[in-house]
Amino acid sequence: MENQMSALSIDANTALLIVVAAIATYFTRIGGYVLMSSMKRIPPRVESALNAVPAAVLTTLVAPPFIYGGWDIKIAMVVALVVGLRFPGLTILAVGWAAVMAARYGFGIGP
């Protein structure tokens, strides 16, 4: 019974931490907009920079796991890359997952 209670309880300090982290995160999500709307017109260089955002940011979430991951992860990501040249997101995900499972359980390559 006591376990059940604590599973649903909220600690004041923890709640405060979560709320502050949420506010900080929300500021990052409006920050760029607030900055941009203070500009009268967008200079071409800034526009080039903004156009580069998806490739620049998303790559930082991909490259380190590939370089520092084991061979199982590397193989799965290369397979996913090749499949991704032709097929959409969900297929890439399924193939990547199948490849890592095959590497681990079929070929005995890491984790």
Partner 1 sequence: MNRHEQLTNGLKKGAVVALSSAPFGVLFGAIAVDNGFSITEAALMSGLVYGGASQLVGIELFGHHVAAWIIVLSILAVNFRHVLYSAALATVIGRYPHVERWLAFFLLVDPQFAETVKREEAGKTATFRWYFAMGAVVWVSWVLTTIVGAYFGRMIGDPKAYGIDVLLPVYFLGLTMGFRSRHNFFPVMLAGGIGSVIAFHFIGSPWHISVGAVLGILVATILPPPKAHEEPDVSEMEKEAM
Residues 31-70 that bind partner 1 (CB under 8 A): 31-37, 44-69
Residue 73: how many other CB atoms lie within 10 Å: 20
CB of 74 to partner 1, least distance (A): 10
Residue 24 in contact with partner 1, rule: CB under 8 A = yes
Residue 56 or residue 107: which is nearer to partner 1 going by CB?
56
DSSP-assigned states of every residue in 47-109: HHHHHTHHHHHHHHTTHHHHHHS-HHHHHHHHHHHHHHTTS-HHHHHHHHHHHHHIIIIIS--
Query: Does 109 engage in binding with partner 1 (CB under 8 A)?
Result: no
- DSSP class of residue 17 equals H
Q: Chain centroid to CA 6: how far?
A: 31
15 binds partner 1 (CB under 8 A): yes
Does 3 participate in binding partner 1 (rule CB under 8 A)? no
Count interface residues toward partner 1 (CB under 8 A).
75
Site for partner 1 in 75-94 (CB under 8 A): 76-77, 80-81, 84-85, 88-90, 92-93
- The one-letter code for the residue type at 13 is N
Q: Is 11 in the site for partner 1 (CB under 8 A)?
A: yes
